[in-house]
């Protein structure tokens, strides 16, 4: 368990409320953006104040509701949206990249993302989300009719633009300099191939990689040599070693001692990997192994979407086992 930075924000999350805007420390703010019709309820955009204008970490969904909420909340802490200097993206999911383009249109903001999550690069290397899904399903060993059902069940969630072009595509760990504020951009693949965390002062913005509650969702393995859990374990170790005092994830709530939380998640995902290795020791496919693993809901009671999710997590585990 993690220790919340502010008890009322943890309480708001657990009571399914959208938390208020909060000053995290000098020069760092969290702006929770409400989501309509989403189980996530909110996604948080973080603000780092710098002498050359505010730098945003992530950019919510591309909806008018998210835009209005962002503009209002930024104004509320004294920053017109036109003054935004940069948008640093933790990864390329639609609840994180959504408003980046619109912010750039009204400001002088530059948009940064990791090479592996840059849409142009990803399309050239792996194809779009649906191409990756169909290759992952093919790797899972599921029967053809199941593969068809699962693919169709993903079509509704997969409809989002993958057209954003970043100004700054990050390859290595880099220090991004804004006046006298230096933000460290650290590669942390696992949730996506190009996930990054950003560290400044004693704070690390962890995107979707390290929530205070629950495991990390793994990316789709669409190539035979993909091993997302191994990537994730390395990434968690790198976050653990950053020496930050406060973690600000994009969902849930900010918490203390990210190193402790990273160690806890390393232990948890290592256990999952060991369980998967036991189940799959006889050379089982993901389709054969998934019903034997432990899930929040029994396999027999899962709908097609939940099964697809469980199957993809199983594939990610199996591909990360040395066998
Ligand atoms: Zn997210």
Instruction: Mark the residues whose beta carbon lies below 5 A from ion ligand 1.
Output: 95, 208
Is 296 domain-assigned?
Answer: no
Is 256 domain-assigned?
Answer: yes
Is 83 domain-assigned?
Answer: yes
Q: Can you tell me the mean pLDDT for 137-165? A: 89
Compute, in angstroms, the gap from residue 77 CA to the centroid of ligand 1.
23
Q: Which of 14, 15, 16 is nearest to 34 (CA)?
A: 16
Is 187 domain-assigned?
Answer: yes
Q: Looking at residue 283, what is its pLDDT?
A: 81
Compute, in angstroms, the gap from residue 219 CA to the centroid of ligand 1.
12
Compute, in angstroms, the gap from residue 289 CA to the centroid of ligand 1.
27
Q: Supply the range of the domain harboring residue 66.
A: 3-274
Compute, in angstroms, the gap from residue 279 CA to the centroid of ligand 1.
30
Compute, in angstroms, the gap from residue 96 CA to the centroid of ligand 1.
6
Compute, in angstroms, the gap from residue 60 CA to the centroid of ligand 1.
8
What is the Cα–Cα distance from 177 to 233, expressed in whole angstroms? 28
Q: Which of 153, 189, 190 is nearest to 272 (CA)?
A: 190
Compute, in angstroms, the gap from residue 33 CA to the centroid of ligand 1.
12
Compute, in angstroms, the gap from residue 95 CA to the centroid of ligand 1.
5
Is 302 domain-assigned?
Answer: no
Query: Which residues, 6+ apart, have CB-to-CB distance to 152 below 8 Å?
Result: none
Compute, in angstroms, the gap from residue 284 CA to the centroid of ligand 1.
31
Compute, in angstroms, the gap from residue 217 CA to the centroid of ligand 1.
10
Q: Which of 225, 114, 119, 126 is nearest to 173 (CA)?
A: 114
Q: Looking at residue 157, what is its pLDDT?
A: 73
Tell me the residue ranges of DSSP E strands in the chain: 3-4, 22-25, 28-34, 42-48, 55-57, 86-88, 110-114, 168-170, 174-178, 181-187, 196-200, 203-207, 246-249, 255-256
Count of structural domains, the chain: 1
Compute, in angstroms, the gap from residue 251 CA to the centroid of ligand 1.
7
Is 313 domain-assigned?
Answer: no
Q: Coil, strand, or helix at residue 249?
A: strand
206 pLDDT band, cuts 50/70/90, is very high
Q: Can you tell me the mean pLDDT for 77-90? A: 98
The CATH number given to whatever domain includes residue 138 is 3.60.15.10
Q: Looking at residue 306, what is its pLDDT?
A: 94
15 pLDDT band, cuts 50/70/90, is very high
Compute, in angstroms, the gap from residue 116 CA to the centroid of ligand 1.
17
Compute, in angstroms, the gap from residue 307 CA to the centroid of ligand 1.
20
Task: Give the percent of the chain with pLDDT over 90.
Answer: 89
Compute, in angstroms, the gap from residue 32 CA to the centroid of ligand 1.
12
Compute, in angstroms, the gap from residue 208 CA to the centroid of ligand 1.
5
Is 175 domain-assigned?
Answer: yes
Q: Can you tell me the mean pLDDT for 162-174? A: 95
pTM, to two decimals: 0.95
pLDDT tens string 209-262: 999 999 999 999 999 999 999 999 999 999 999 999 999 999 999 999 999 999
Q: Looking at residue 156, what is its pLDDT?
A: 77
Is 290 domain-assigned?
Answer: no
Q: Looking at residue 323, what is its pLDDT?
A: 61
Compute, in angstroms, the gap from residue 123 CA to the centroid of ligand 1.
20
């Amino acid at each position: 368990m993690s220790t919340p930075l502010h008890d009322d924000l943890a309480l708001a999350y657990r009571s399914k409320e959208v938390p208020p805007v909060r000053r995290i420390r000098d020069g760092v703010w969290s702006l929770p953006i409400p989501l309509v019709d989403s189980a996530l309820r909110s996604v948080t955009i973080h603000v780092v104040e710098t002498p050359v204008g505010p730098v945003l970490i992530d950019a919510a969904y591309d909806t008018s509701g998210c835009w209005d909420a962002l503009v209002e909340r930024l104004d509320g802490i004294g920053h017109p949206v036109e003054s935004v200097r940069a948008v640093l993206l933790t990864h390329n999911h639609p609840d994180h990249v959504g408003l980046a383009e619109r912010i750039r249109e009204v400001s002088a903001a530059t948009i940064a993302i990791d090479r592996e999550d840059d849409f142009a690069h990803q399309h050239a290397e792996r194809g779009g989300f649906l191409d990756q899904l169909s290759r992952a399903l093919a790797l899972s060993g599921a029967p053809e009719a199941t593969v068809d059902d699962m693919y169709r069940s993903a079509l509704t969630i997969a409809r989002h633009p993958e057209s954003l072009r970043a100004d700054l595509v990050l390859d290595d760990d880099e220090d991004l300099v804004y006046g006298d504020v230096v933000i460290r951009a650290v590669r942390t693949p696992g949730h996506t191939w190009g996930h990054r965390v950003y560290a400044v002062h004693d704070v690390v913005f962890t995107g979707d990689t390290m929530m205070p509650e629950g495991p990390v969702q793994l990316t789709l393995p669409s190539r035979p040599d993909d091993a997302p859990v191994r990537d994730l374990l390395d990434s968690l170790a790198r976050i653990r070693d950053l020496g930050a005092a406060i973690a600000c994830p994009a969902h849930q709530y900010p918490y203390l001692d990210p190193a402790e939380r990273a160690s806890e998640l390393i232990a948890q995902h290592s256990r999952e990997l060991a369980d998967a290795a036991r189940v799959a020791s006889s050379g089982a496919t993901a389709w054969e192994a998934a019903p034997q693993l432990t899930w929040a809901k029994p396999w027999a009671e899962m709908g097609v979407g939940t099964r697809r999710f469980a199957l993809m997590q199983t594939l990610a585990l199996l591909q990360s086992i040395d066998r």
